[in-house]
Chains A and B, each alone.
Chain A
Amino acid sequence: MVMRIKPKRAEPSQEEVAIRVRGLVTRMGEKVIHDHLDLDVKRGEVLGVVGGSGTGKSVLLRSIIHLIKPAEGEISVLGKRLDQLNDQELRALEIRWGVLFQEGALFSSHTVAENIQIPLREYTNLPQRLMEEIAAMKLSLVGLPPDAGLKYPSELSGGMKKRAALARALALDPELLFLDEPTSGLDPIAANHFDELLRDLHKSLNLTVFMVTHDLNSLKGTTDRIAVLVDKKVKIGTIQTLVNDPHPWIQEYFNGARGRAALAS
């Protein structure tokens, strides 16, 4: 038997890795978005994903949460290969992650509290009163006033919507949290509050966070490592190591006017 000898790079073990992507290829029609992309997200870290428009940040997120089927490659989440799971196993896995979509994706025909109770109702059989209490608790956890629960999503501001959507994503105490541009469309103050909230929740809920973002301040303030999507692959590192990366896009990103301002602060 011929075995390729692997370089002795320390591969993180199964328990330490929350998300493992190997050789991922995604295509949209003829266009190749990801070309044999590898990525490891460690348990307990906050990973920021950046990249220019159209480099497939959201596509990567959607592939990991199984909304898009990759053309090639394998994705494991919390130790489970996505392509090998049957429907039931997939559901069991799905309740272990929470997703905050870009526009919140709150169900517009339900109040905020009902939105949070939907996953609870689906996966547990708690008495109604307790579900209401838990929904209110989640709301205060994300910093919303108690009466926000009675409102409909259309009655909330953008920042409140994102917080409410985060509360829904956290309804079942997920281990993994996916955020798609959580601070886009928020004013700087609301964005700062959101960063603080994320740090706080990350610490208190033992979350692993996969965050797609454009926001440099948010990257600096919340993430442990950063994955940059360039040339259909991922370059991963901390801000300190990436600042010195010679790739032109990365240079422009971190050393452009905005980048410098954000990193200097």
Chain B
Amino acid sequence: MPSPGKRISSRVAFKGTALSDSAQSVGRAWYRTERRNTVLRFFFGGDWVIEEIAALDKSLHTLKLDGAREVEFDGSEVKRMDSAGAWLILRAKHQLSEAGAKIREMTVPDAYRPLLEKLDREIKGPPPSPPPHRPFTDFLARMGQGATEMAETAYRLLGFLGRITVETFEAIVRPTRELPWPAFVNQIEATGLTAVPIVGLLSFLLGVVLAYQGAEQLKRFGAEIFTVNLVGLSVLREIGVLMTAIIAAGRSGSAFTAQIGTMKLNEEVDAMVTMGLNPVEILVLPRVLGLLVSLPLLTFYANIMGLIGGAVMCYFSLDITFPAFSRQLQGAISFSPWSFWLGIIKAPFFAFTIALVGCFEGLRVEGTAESVGRLTTRSVVESIFLVVVLDAGFSILFSILEI
């Protein structure tokens, strides 16, 4: 322990900082402490600016009173100081005064006095630390949160389903006001007509792919002709409608969420409510009804394009001419006469699901633009998921009915 009366001085030098004995280091920030009796004098100077303070940070943390009871801060040699530098000085001051020292004075050039005083007045202690990170419990918590959220979403979606069903029914059976025809027609155009090129192209290509895969395998058994049955039945029963529904979910379901979500952010939905208008009737119904009309039509078109794709592939790789293809197709369908309808019947169900989820997620948008993006993604994923689940349900139903 240093005895009182003896002068103890310690200097701190930092990496890259050559501190000479006379403590002349213009452009660098420096400090040194000196103890005389019970007074610790803290000299600092140079450029106490943000570029410099990283080096000082650590050593200032280790600043000790060393038995002193009073502290004097002398910064008369400070050349420049910004708020980050001032913060370090004030932190050191708080640190020492918390250790029990009395701060006697604080000298800085006049130009920086207002800054230090302002910060000293305003600072309300260290930053609150964010909740500690516990990977395992956090993981569990997230999982639980996800599960309850999923359950809640399902519950609310069911509620929304009920509401839409009732309102659709009412709007059709006893209309209080005329259906918003222009919006309805617009939706048919947006979800149906404009989707024709992409649906047609994809279905055609899928027909080609199916025919090619089937031909390769069936050739080995000399049963090439049954490629037609394979393509025909799978396109009509499954591929046509499923592909169309997935495209619709990506194109139209996401558009529903983004449109309604943006309107929600823009307070347009609230404006409707205050005018006594029903947002479900104005925003949701035209979209649901529009997609209910356009998706079956698109499915029909997709079926045709898929069959054409299959026929083209059969012609080129198996030399099955178009008349032969159509004869074989008729034969195939006569074994299961419901094939075409089994596909088409699913379209309105898928359409309803996609529009429902799209509008539901759109109406859930709140707060920020980020939530529009998040919910749009969710809407697409959820509607595709539900479409596939529904499709599986239909398969089970059809196999029970043996059609």
Asked if B124 lies at the interface with its beta carbon under 8 angstroms from chain A, I say yes
Binds A, one of B114-122, B195-203, B299-307: B114-122
Query: In chain A, residues 135-158, which have Cβ atoms closer than 8 Å to a Cβ of chain B?
Result: 135-138, 140-141, 143, 145-147, 149-150, 153-154
The answer for the CA separation of A130 and B127 in the assembled complex, in Å, is: 10
Task: Report the count of interface residues on A (CB-CB < 8 A).
Answer: 35
Q: Is the CB of A124 within 8 A of B51?
A: yes
Binds A, one of B83-91, B176-184, B225-233: B83-91
Return chain A residues, CB-CB under 8 Å to B123: 137, 140
- Contact among B83, B128, B367 for A137, CB-based, below 8 A: B83
The answer for the CA separation of A137 and B125 in the assembled complex, in Å, is: 9
Asked if B273 lies at the interface with its beta carbon under 8 angstroms from chain A, I say no
Return chain A residues, CB-CB under 8 Å to B118: 141, 200-201, 203-204
B78 shortest CB reach to chain A, Å: 14
Q: Is the CB of B114 within 8 A of A203?
A: yes
The answer for the CA separation of A205 and B53 in the assembled complex, in Å, is: 18
Task: Assign chain B's interface to a size class.
Answer: 20 to 34
Q: Is the CB of A130 within 8 A of B53?
A: yes
Tally inter-chain residue pairs, CB-CB below 8 A: 81
- Contact among B54, B111, B122 for A141, CB-based, below 8 A: B122
Asked if B270 lies at the interface with its beta carbon under 8 angstroms from chain A, I say no
Q: Is the CB of A127 within 8 A of B54?
A: yes
Contact with B along A86-122 (1 / 0, CB 8 A): 0000000000000000000000110001000000100
Asked if B50 lies at the interface with its beta carbon under 8 angstroms from chain A, I say yes
Query: In chain A, residues 149-181, which have Cβ atoms closer than 8 Å to a Cβ of chain B?
Result: 149-150, 153-154, 170, 172-173
Asked if B98 lies at the interface with its beta carbon under 8 angstroms from chain A, I say no
Return chain B residues, CB-CB under 8 Å to A127: 54, 57-58
- Contact among A137, A143, A145, A203 for B87, CB-based, below 8 A: A137
Return chain B residues, CB-CB under 8 Å to A130: 53-54, 57
Return chain B residues, CB-CB under 8 Å to A132: 127
**A136 with B127: in contact, given A173-B84, A205-B83, A206-B111 (CB under 8 Å)?**
yes
Return chain B residues, CB-CB under 8 Å to A149: 127-128
**A204 with B114: in contact, given A136-B127, A146-B128, A173-B84 (CB under 8 Å)?**
yes
**A145 with B124: in contact, given A130-B57, A150-B130 (CB under 8 Å)?**
yes
Asked if B126 lies at the interface with its beta carbon under 8 angstroms from chain A, I say yes
Q: Is the CB of B54 within 8 A of A126?
A: yes
A142 and chain B: residue at smallest CB distance: B122
**A204 with B115: in contact, given A108-B370, A125-B54 (CB under 8 Å)?**
yes
The answer for the CA separation of A154 and B127 in the assembled complex, in Å, is: 20
**A113 with B50: in contact, given A134-B87, A140-B122, A205-B83 (CB under 8 Å)?**
no
Return chain A residues, CB-CB under 8 Å to B87: 133-134, 137
Asked if B368 lies at the interface with its beta carbon under 8 angstroms from chain A, I say yes
**A124 with B50: in contact, given A146-B125, A147-B128, A173-B83 (CB under 8 Å)?**
yes
Asked if B369 lies at the interface with its beta carbon under 8 angstroms from chain A, I say yes
The answer for the CA separation of A108 and B91 in the assembled complex, in Å, is: 30
Asked if B170 lies at the interface with its beta carbon under 8 angstroms from chain A, I say no
The answer for the CA separation of A140 and B120 in the assembled complex, in Å, is: 10
User: Which 5 pairs show the lowest CB-CB distances between chains A and B?
Assistant: A136-B127, A173-B82, A204-B118, A204-B114, A140-B122
20 A-B Cβ contacts within 8 A? A108-B368, A120-B50, A124-B50, A125-B54, A126-B50, A130-B53, A130-B54, A133-B126, A133-B127, A134-B87, A135-B127, A137-B123, A140-B119, A140-B122, A150-B128, A154-B367, A173-B83, A201-B118, A203-B118, A204-B115
List residues of chain A with CB under 8 Å of any chain B CB.
Answer: 108-109, 113, 120, 124-127, 130, 132-138, 140-141, 143, 145-147, 149-150, 153-154, 170, 172-173, 200-201, 203-206
Q: A126-B57, A137-B123, A150-B128 are in contact. List 4 more A-B contacts (CB 8 A).
A: A108-B369, A109-B370, A132-B127, A141-B83
